């Protein structure tokens, strides 16, 4: 299933994540503290430049390996998993895919050196309806763009040195053209709202972003005017693989915790793993996680092969996130009271963390919509199903 270099990469990555990231996972969650101390070691290992070409200071790897990195990070710390996924897939990718040479030279080397990038799509009225953006960018006579609006649920908002944000480039309601901009944190008019108090992923940094009369030049525009909606959806096609990988890693962490606990916990004179009801739960967990893994790796391969993969990454994200949530809930069932309430085992943190994977970068309902549209398109065009 995996190539030799990918198997070795997993071994190295697992060892790094267990040694450097895992020990702090409980504290970061408890104190809602961002994983600042992890950024340098993650950067040194190349985890912040997994998609960036060498010419811009990156250490690029194939998408299967990238998925493995997010999976292994999330297996021990969901907050680290989402920070890596958002930076690489949502921050670096759009600049790489749609940016000019100057934009790549300006942003990617900094990103490769460990400065985080963010992605601003969601707004109060633009969640599933990605085209509902109200942020406005209006071209001034001076040639500058005047940007006003707010973005919500932005991962790494307070830390990121720049954000790729979507905005409508016309104030006429009938003109829905959306354009993306790369907005610098230190530019006048850019501000960060209060950090969200979240159920899970509490070691990641999530906040509002506000753009108040921000004036930026043409050098901040990403791609052509009006291309922003498609750029955002294309970015999400890839991002969904990494959210699937995150859910998979979290689920794997919960499953390992449950399997070990069931083998040690003695009730009625023998470990609870002697009970078939428990064995069946473990068997379902292992089977579903493996199926999710296959979907994620296959969509990664399709992306690298340049094949259309958006419907497939939607399947991978849909399935992996629902499996991750189910596995975490069943792990808590197997652990009973100690799993649910004490925080002594990672299962309850994972259960809180993994829920986001069914929501972020498109809800399960949106993934089903994307998949169904592809099915119906194939039917209409007489393609094999
Ligand atoms: N990549 C590139 N282009 C895409 C695309 C994709 N994945 N999906 C659609 N498009 C294009 C379409 O081809 C269409 O182009 P034309 O106008 O040239 O025909 C255009 O984008 C509009 O597509 P569509 O009519 O399908 O858009 P809808 O408004 O119906 O929305 C969904 C489509 C619902 C799929 C989209 O809004 C979506 O993915 N929403 C979820 C957003 C999300 O994940 N939000 C959470 C963000 S958390 S970071």
User: What pLDDT is stored for residue 124 in this prediction?
Assistant: 95
User: What pLDDT is stored for residue 192 in this prediction?
Assistant: 98
User: What pLDDT is stored for residue 89 in this prediction?
Assistant: 98
Strands 221-222 and 178-184: antiparallel
User: What pLDDT is stored for residue 343 in this prediction?
Assistant: 75
User: Residue 126 belongs to a domain with what CATH number?
Assistant: 2.40.110.10
Query: Per the structure, how many domains does the chain have?
Result: 3
Pair (98, 52) in one structural domain: yes
Site to substitute for ligand 1 among 89, 126, 129, 130, most atoms within 8 A of C-beta? 130
| Ligand 1 pocket residue status of 243, Cβ below 6 Å | no
Pair (151, 259) in one structural domain: no
Pair (50, 141) in one structural domain: no
Pair (251, 194) in one structural domain: no
Q: Which of 199, 226, 253 is the last residue of a domain?
A: 226
| Ligand 1 pocket residue status of 237, Cβ below 6 Å | yes
Pair (102, 195) in one structural domain: no
Pair (275, 371) in one structural domain: yes
186 pLDDT band, cuts 50/70/90, is very high
Q: What is the mean pLDDT of residues 70-97?
A: 98
Pair (179, 189) in one structural domain: yes
Pair (111, 82) in one structural domain: yes
204 pLDDT band, cuts 50/70/90, is very high
> What range does the domain containing 107 cover?
4-116
Pair (101, 30) in one structural domain: yes
Pair (288, 153) in one structural domain: no
Site to substitute for ligand 1 among 88, 233, 371, most atoms within 8 A of C-beta? 233
Pair (289, 182) in one structural domain: no
Pair (296, 160) in one structural domain: no
CA distances from 193 to 32, 116, 210, 215, 224 (A): 16, 17, 7, 19, 29
| Ligand 1 pocket residue status of 121, Cβ below 6 Å | yes
Q: Is a pLDDT exceeding 80 seen at residue 174?
A: no
Q: Which of 184, 207, 226 is the last residue of a domain?
A: 226
Q: Is a pLDDT exceeding 80 seen at residue 104?
A: yes
User: Residue 347 belongs to a domain with what CATH number?
Assistant: 1.20.140.10
Q: Which of 187, 202, 226 is the last residue of a domain?
A: 226
What's the predicted TM-score (pTM) here?
0.97
17 pLDDT band, cuts 50/70/90, is very high
């Amino acid at each position: 299933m995996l190539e030799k270099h990918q198997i070795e990469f997993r071994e190295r990555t697992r060892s790094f994540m267990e040694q450097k990231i895992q020990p702090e996972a409980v504290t970061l969650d408890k104190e809602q503290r961002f994983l600042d101390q992890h950024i340098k070691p993650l950067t040194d290992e190349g985890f912040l430049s997994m998609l960036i070409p060498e010419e811009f200071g990156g250490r690029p790897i194939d998408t299967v390996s990238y998925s493995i990195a997010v999976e292994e990070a999330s297996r021990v710390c969901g907050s680290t998993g989402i920070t890596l996924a958002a930076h690489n897939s949502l921050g670096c990718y759009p600049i790489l895919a749609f940016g000019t040479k100057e934009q790549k030279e300006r942003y990617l080397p900094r990103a490769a050196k460990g400065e985080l990038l963010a992605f601003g799509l969601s707004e109060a009225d633009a969640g599933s309806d990605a085209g509902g953006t109200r942020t406005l960018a209006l071209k001034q006579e001076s040639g500058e763009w005047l940007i006003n609006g707010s973005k919500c649920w932005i991962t790494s908002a307070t830390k990121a040195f720049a954000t790729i944000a979507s905005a409508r480039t016309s104030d006429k309601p009938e003109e829905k053209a959306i354009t993306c901009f790369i907005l610098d944190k230190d530019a006048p008019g850019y501000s960060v709202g209060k950090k969200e108090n979240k159920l899970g992923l509490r070691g990641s940094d999530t906040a509002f972003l506000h753009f108040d009369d921000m004036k930026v030049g043409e050098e901040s525009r990403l791609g052509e005017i009006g291309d922003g909606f498609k750029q955002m959806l294309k970015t999400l096609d890839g991002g969904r693989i990494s959210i699937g990988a995150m859910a998979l890693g979290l689920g794997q962490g919960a499953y390992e915790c449950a399997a070990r606990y069931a083998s040690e916990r003695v009730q009625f004179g023998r470990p609870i793993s002697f009970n078939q009801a428990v064995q069946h739960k473990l068997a379902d967990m292992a089977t579903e996680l493996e199926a999710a893994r296959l979907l994620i790796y296959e969509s990664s391969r399709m992306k690298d092969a340049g094949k259309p993969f958006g419907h497939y990454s939607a399947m991978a994200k849909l399935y992996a996130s629902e499996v991750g949530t189910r596995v975490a809930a069943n792990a808590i069932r197997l652990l009973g009271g100690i799993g649910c309430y004490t925080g002594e085992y990672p299962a309850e943190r994972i259960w809180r963390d993994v829920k986001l994977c069914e929501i972020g970068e498109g809800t399960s309902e949106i993934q089903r919509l994307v998949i169904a549209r592809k099915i119906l398109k194939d039917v209409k065009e007489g393609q094999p199903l």
